[in-house]
Each structure stands twice: as C-alpha cells, then as structure tokens.
Chain A
Amino acid sequence: MIVAENVEKRFGDALVLKHVNLRVEPGEVVTILGASGSGKSTLIRCINGLEALSGGKITVDGHDVSTKAGLVAARRASATVFQLFNLYPHMTALRNITLAPIEVLKLPKAEAEARARALLEKVGLGAHADAYPQQLSGGQRQRVGICRALAMQPRYLLLDEVTSALDPEMTGDVLRILAELAADGTTMVFVTHEIEFARHISSRIVFLEQGELIVDLPTAQFFAEDGGLAVPRIRQFLSKMKKD
C-alpha cells in the first residue's frame, strides 16, 4: 500500500503540495487529475523519492521514502514510467530493459534477456530489441519505457503523463497496453490528461488543485452529477478538457 500523509512540498517560497493525503491499495488504479502546475507530477516524484518532502510522510508497503533504507525498499516495490521516456540513449531497447534486473535484482543475464524479449513481444516490439532509442518512434520508445518498468516486477506502477508527448495514434498504442495491465490487476498511480481513458480504467480518481487534493472519489462517483461534477472547479476542468 502507498500511503501519503500530510505531504507538503516547497520549491523555494512556492508551496507545490499542501497537506496531501492519499492511499493506494494493491490492485487499485488511481488516476490523478488536475491542471498543469497543480502538483500531479511532483506528487509522483515524491512517491519515488526523486523529490524530498518538505513535510509529512510517504510510505510504500511501510517503507518510509525519506529514510535511506526505506527509499531503497520503496524503489524496489515501485517502478516509474516518464513523460519524456527517459530511455538510456546509449543502450539498445533490450539493454534498457535488462540493466536494472541484472544490476539490482541480480538476475542472470540470459534470464533477464529472455524476460525482456517476452515483454517486448507483448507490447509489439519483438523485432526492435536491438534498436537504439533514437531509431524508435515516440510511441515505441514509451512502450520500451513501460517494459523497462515492468521488468523490475514492481508492485506499483507510477505513470507520469506517459502519453503527453505522443500523437493520438501512438497514444492509442500505449493506452491499450496500460488497459491490459490494469485488467491484469496491476496497481497503478496514473497522472494523465486522458480523461476518457482514466474513466475507463481507474478505480478511483483524485483531483489536485494548486497543490491541494480537493476530491478523492471512486471513478463512477467522480463523474456523477451529485459527486465530482457537483464541485464547480471539476465541472469547469472537465468541460474544458472535452473542448480540447
């Protein structure tokens, strides 16, 4: 379980996260919605320890990410997929995926490669194992990014606007894979602007507004007239997103 309690994050004078509370149970798909700059990505970066908290506490399966040992264990439990892929540019798709399993999980090379090839096959990139990131399209790179995360066999998958840099067709490819993962019961924390998709795969939706988590509801209720839509800010946000 991922638990965020009273999480506060400052960048200088700016308070980017204000007393955020969030729980993610195994098996859940929790989508974080909110305008650009509302703190969605920062929250993900606090969970995986890329940003240090200014206040409050985050634990992943009981491991406190603000301690050294806790962070190692927490990172072992989760994996992150990034908006701009962040693939290792000097390594092939296969090496991108096998590096951490070999170095961190200490898997034998042959086993790590067999698993990586199976993952690439699953996302339709079986023929591109030896391609370098530069030789792949954005959608293909992001699918490699997903394989790289899955290869660590994480209990929690953290997805930070993973389709924001992709055109609609490539977005479709990536979302299809995420939908399959959700159907398989993968626990996900999903920051996105793809509202329709979020509605489709999420068990819960939370809404961040200027660093405050103002709504946390099961998906059906979030989109109900007497639920999330009763909150003026959310009604406004959703109507704007539909127009785009």
Chain B
Amino acid sequence: MRFWRVIEPHIGFLLQGFALTIAACLLAIVGAVLLGALTASMRSSGNRWVRGAANAYGDVFRNVPFLVQLFFFFYGLPELGIYIGAFETGVIAMSIAGGAFVSDVILSGIMTVDTGVIDAAKVSGLNRVKIFTRIVLPIALRVSVRPMGSVLINLVLTSSILSTITVNELTGAAKIVAATTFKPFEVYAVLLVLYASLTTLLSFAISATHRRLNRFMMGG
C-alpha cells in the first residue's frame, strides 16, 4: 500500500529518533521526580530561606515557556564555559522544568499527610530525612501520583521541542523525513501512533503505581 511505501525506507531512522525520545523521557522523568521531591521537601521546610529558594525555583520554571528555558540552557551554558551535548542539555532542561511542576503535586500530597502520623514518627526518634523519605513522601505520593502522571505525560510531549536544539529525537527525525519525502501527513501519522503508545504506556505505569501505593486502602 501507498502509506507503507512512503514510510518503509525511513522507518529505521524514525525508530532511532523514537529510541532517543524514550531515552530522553526516561532520564528526564527520573530527574524531574527526584528534583520535584527534593523541592517539595524544601517547600515544606520550617526554614524560610530554604522555603523561599525552593519557591523561587518553582515560580521561575513554571512561568517561562519551555522553549525559552531550553534556548537559555542551550546557548547560555557555553557562555558560562559549560560544554555539554544537545541531548544532555535537553534532558537537564526537561528535568528542571518538569521538577518545578512535580514539586507542586508532591507538595499538595504532603499537605494531606496527617500531622499525628508525623508526630508519631518524631517521638520514635526518627530523624528528619528518614521521616520524609519513609513516612511523609510515600503517604504523599499515594495522592500525588495521579496528577504527577499528567505532569510526566506532558513532559513526554514536551520532549518534541528538543528537535529545536538539533536533537533528532522522534519529532526531529520526522521533520527531516517529511522534508525529504514531501509526505508530511504519512510521517506525522506515524508520530501520532508512536507518541500515543508511549504516553499510554506511561499512563498504565502510573495507574499500576497508584494501585500499588494505595493497596492498603482496600480490603478490610
């Protein structure tokens, strides 16, 4: 059929781009979640300087378009004498932007944690770090994990913007193929399927995590 004849010579190149997208997304998801959890813990700190610094980070990176942030890092880091590849720059920018949103949803989860439970942990002698990682965060995540899923799916979609800084991830590869074949419809139809399958897979993972974190809420 006509569709496959258009795509077939380029499918290897597109899948290479897809692999790059997956790699960037996985790394950025890990980065965004770690950074988001750290920032959320700082935003719930008793120290106003720590809180202020974390809030400032969140405010800046939630309120500037990702494209602007990306260019800022891509063109700005070399000015500071930091030379890293476009892919690495993209992953770092995605982690930082994603972390700002993740910290928001984790913080809202933290605010639902029963203070009595934290009191119990305090009097048992657990230190602050242990209280946060063993008690507060796991309880917060059981309500935060779903909205965090939306943030992470958005992050996957945002990865297409990395094509603007020479990273030939899925969208970057597609632009090249579309330009050489003059068949943008067929090429972007493939993208639609690939992006949708990636985000669907992520949704399933989020649902499974949600179920797992909330398993103790069932039965009785």
Contact = CB atoms under 8 A, between A and B. Distances in A.
Q: Is chain B's binding surface mostly helix, strand, loop or mixed?
A: helix
B217 interface: yes
A50 B117 CA distance: 12
Contact of B139 (A72, A75, A80, A90): A90
A88 B123 contact: no
Q: Top 8 A-B pairs ranked by shortest CB distance?
A: A132-B216, A100-B124, A86-B120, A86-B116, A104-B125, A48-B123, A80-B123, A75-B125
13 contacts: A75-B125, A79-B124, A86-B116, A87-B120, A89-B139, A99-B126, A99-B134, A103-B126, A104-B126, A132-B216, A134-B220, A135-B220, A148-B124
B119 interface: yes
A80 B216 CA distance: 24
Contacts of A72: 125
Contact of B117 (A76, A89, A92, A152): A89
A100 to B, nearest CB: 4
B48 interface: no
A223 interface: no
A82 interface: yes
B142 interface: yes
A1 interface: no
Nearest to A104: B125
Please classify how large the interface on chain A is, using the bins under 10, 10 to 19, 20 to 34, 35 or more. Answer: 20 to 34
Given A50-B119, A86-B116, A89-B139, A135 B126 contact: no
A87 to B, nearest CB: 7
Nearest to B114: A86
Interface in B62-103: none
Interface in B103-143: 114, 116-117, 119-126, 130, 134-135, 138-139, 142
A178 to B, nearest CB: 18
B219 interface: yes
B148 to A, nearest CB: 17
A86 B124 contact: no
B126 A100 contact: yes
Given A87-B120, A88-B117, A100 B217 contact: no
A49 interface: yes
Contacts of B135: 88
B50 interface: no
A20 interface: no
A212 B117 CA distance: 29
Interface string B141-174: 0100000000000000000000000000000000
* Residue among A79, A84, A90 facing the most chain B CB atoms (10 A cut-off): A90
Given A89-B139, A103-B130, A104-B126, A82 B219 contact: no
Interface string A134-161: 1100000000000010001000000000
Contacts of A48: 123
Interface in A23-63: 48-50
Interface in A124-139: 132-135
A135 B219 CA distance: 6
B213 A90 contact: yes
Contact of B124 (A84, A91, A99): A99
Contacts of A134: 216-220
A84 B125 contact: no
Given A99-B134, A104-B126, A88 B219 contact: no
Contacts of B116: 82, 84, 86
A45 B98 CA distance: 40
B119 A82 contact: yes
Interface in B185-217: 213, 215-217
A80 B124 CA distance: 8
Interface string A68-88: 000010011011101010111
A80 B125 contact: no
Contact of B216 (A75, A78, A89): A89
A86 B125 contact: no
Contact of B120 (A49, A88, A135): A88
A218 B126 CA distance: 36
